[in-house]
Amino acid sequence: MIILLQLPGNPNVGKSTVFNSLTGLHQHTGNWPGKTVSNAMGITNFMDKDFLLVDIPGTYSIMSNSQEEEIARDYICFGNPDCTVVVVDSTCLERNLNLVYQILEITNKVVVCVNLLDEAKKKGIEIDLNKLSSELGVPVVGTIARKKKTLKNLMQNIYDVCSSNKNKKYFKIQYGDDIENSINILEKDVRDLLQNHEFNNYRWITLKLLEGNKKIISSIENYLDLKLLGNETIQNSLSKAKELLIKNDITSSSFKDKIVSTIMFHGETIALKVTSCKRLDYNYKNNKIDKILTSKLTGIPIMLLFFAMIFWITITGANYPSQMLSNSFNYIEAKLVYLFESFNSPNWLISMLIYGMYRTLGWVVAVMLPPMAIFFPLFTILEDLGYLPRIAFNLDGFFRKACTSGKQALTMCMGVTKLEFFIISLFVLHYLTDLPGFLQTTNIYYFISCKYYF
């Protein structure tokens, strides 16, 4: 029997590193039903048991806005795992606890993996893991994902949670008397509706009904095969609960704000209890850099300067390796022609294989490989330095006017570069039409290029 584990977490907390270290990179990807964003899956063995791990797309919250967040939310809520391993960043525990609290409200089989302890140590941050476990009511394990030894304790705690037959109570956050009274009105009817259902987290469904997010409610109805909004009893109780909220000046829009602010407050409170910092100025350098790179005055000019420099290095720097490759291919071409002629090969065969296929391949590789080999490593360096999220932040306001987010800016940069390479290849391939004979029909290469790039 395979035990199902899921690994949710914020982006850039080392979640995929934990996943890869546990599975040994023996993984495959699978799509969540009806979605196009994939989850990586892999198998690990511990205590003679097979564990199937699902690496869920990184998300800051399961109150979803993007497609990735919807997939993460649906898998967390309805994936029915044996254990949910929430990976958090030890250097910014307060922010990560937001997702931990939301997941604890959904499932009672949770292990919190506090990752990047080595980075926390560099910054002088210490976390009392035992105290954090006591506050959350679930096992908390510290890890350094790159070191497999630190993951043994994690797997032991996962094994213990999966082996336990105890039905732990669901984590409960008190949202204040106004909201709690409304929850009490509706929760009884939701409990009656779910009394014979495997998913018995009445309180969480009650909160989602009061929140009124139609996407989440629709997902609940689809995955649990229930009718919530079409149920007359539920509707009557929901109306009464919302009337009580309105009497207490809590509108539909402010309800979610109160829920989020309460969760954030609890996260801040616990983070202060369990975290100690020897160096209070540990983040001073990063804050100083952020003020410059994300400033309204200097952020955009610096970003444009970086892009201009990268494209200049890519275009100018690629000329030298392109020339070297071109000379090498030309040298080999001359030798191939000599070889074919020495065997008295007909001209049509030489034209087809050397002037057609080989020369096309050589020119495309000589022109396209160097820019790609320069541009993508440069972009990777920017990502490792943490500059790409800052670019997304700078452009988020502009992109939101087009009903998207700043993260799309990075995809567009990749797309522009792809288009450049495509246009270059068209110019190269167009030159082939000057060749004799059957090579006049090389329009097929245009089709191949279009198919490859787009």
Q: What is the DSSP letter of 146?
A: T
Neighbour count for residue 242 (Cβ, 10 Å):
20
Structure confidence by residue, pLDDT tens digits, 293-327: 888 888 889 988 988 888 888 888 888 898 999 99
Within a domain: 170: no
Contact between 301 and 309 under an 8 Å Cβ cutoff? The reply is no
Task: Verify that 82 and 34 share a domain, yes or no.
Answer: yes
Whether residue 214 has pLDDT greater than 90: no
Task: Verify that 185 and 150 share a domain, yes or no.
Answer: no
Task: Verify that 233 and 303 share a domain, yes or no.
Answer: no
The model scores a pTM over 0.85: no
Task: Verify that 185 and 259 share a domain, yes or no.
Answer: yes
Provide mean pLDDT across the span 76-92. Answer: 89
pLDDT at 375: 82
7: domain CATH number is 3.40.50.300
Contacts 24+ apart (CB under 8 A), 240-244: 240/185, 240/186, 241/182, 241/183, 241/185, 241/186, 241/210, 242/182, 242/210, 244/178, 244/181, 244/182, 244/185
pLDDT at 90: 93
Per-residue pLDDT band at 453 (split at 50, 70, 90): very low
Provide mean pLDDT across the span 154-174. Answer: 85
Whether residue 51 has pLDDT greater than 90: yes
Domain end residue (candidates: 246, 277, 308): 277
**Between 451 and 432, the higher pLDDT residue:** 432
Task: Verify that 231 and 149 share a domain, yes or no.
Answer: no
For helices 93-104 and 252-274, give the axis angle rounded to 10 degrees: 120
Q: Residue 19 sits in which domain range?
A: 2-163
Task: Verify that 198 and 83 share a domain, yes or no.
Answer: no
Rounded-to-10 torsion of CA 167, 173, 176, 182? -50
Give the residue among 359, 367, 368 at the shortest CA–CA distance from 433: 359
Whether residue 328 has pLDDT greater than 90: yes
212 Rama class: left (phi>0) / alpha (psi -120 to 50) / beta: left
Within a domain: 255: yes
pLDDT more than 90, % of the chain: 31
Contact between 15 and 58 under an 8 Å Cβ cutoff? The reply is yes
